Structure 1
Amino acid sequence: MYLEIVSPEATLFAGEVTSVTVPGVDGEFQMLANHAPIVSLLQVGDVKIEGEVDIHEDYQNKFSQDAKGKTVLAINSGTVEMKDNKVIVLAD
């Protein structure tokens, strides 16, 4: 599935991934390929990405790796939309 993470400054990441886990306001949830369409608000927490993630060098300082090898982006709030195997995260 295709993931795009957009901040007020720039598009931080765009590419194919295996899964995305986000901090929804009602709890953390994971999206995989062919997930049902969803729109949700996000709260303070981590966006966790699985797959072969290639972060542009200008934004590598915003991402980290967790103990399980997932790529992690800390956010303060935002929204997520999943539709037709495309996930868009608008993050603050």
Structure 2
Amino acid sequence: MLHLEIITPDKAVFSGEVDTVFVPGTKGAFQVLKNHAPIISTLGKGEVRYRIASKEVAFLVEGGVVEVAQNKVRVLVERILEEA
């Protein structure tokens, strides 16, 4: 499992354990699974999605940053445009 945090300047949108995370990197979208190598990447406009068991949740974001280290994923976004 991964610990995911999705944060905007206004509030913490989500914090919890997930199976996988998909993010819209500025150089291309990518997926984060358990034991992913550490990475910091900028995000472009697109969907941030996470999956818990068979449930998938998606948010349309305008941009931001993602940091992955030691099975923790922190997504900092400027704002969430809508829940997809």
- Give how far 1:69 is off: 4.8
* 1:75 to 2:61 alignment: yes
- What residue identity is the alignment partner of 1:74? L
**Runs of 4+ in structure 1 over 2 Å off:** none
- Post-superposition Cα deviations, 1:13-61, rounded to whole Å, max 9, x if no partner, equal 0000000000000110000000000000000000010005xxxxxxxxx
Identity among equivalent positions (%) equals 43
1:40 has 2:26 as partner: no
Map of 1:30 onto structure 2: 31
> Which is greater in Rg?
1
Aligned equivalents of 1:7, 1:73: Cα separation in 2: 12
Q: Which amino acid aligns with 2:58?
A: V
Work out the CA distance in 2 between the residues paired with 1:72 and 1:82.
19
Q: Which one has the bigger strand percentage?
A: 2
- Provide TM-score, normalisation by structure 1: 0.80
Whole-angstrom CA distance in 2 between matches of 1:77 and 1:32: 21
1:13 aligns with 2:33: no
Q: How many residues align?
A: 77
User: Quick one: which amino acid aligns to residue 87 of structure 1?
Assistant: V
Counterpart Cα distance in 2 of 1:86 and 1:9: 21
Using structure 2 for the length normalisation, give the TM-score. 0.87
Structure 2 Cα separation of the partners of residues 86 and 3 of structure 1: 6
Q: Distance in 1 between matches of 2:17 and 2:55?
A: 17
Q: CA RMSD in A?
A: 1.3
State how far apart, in whole Å, the 1-side matches of 2:8 and 2:64 are.
Answer: 9
Match of 1:3 in 2: 4
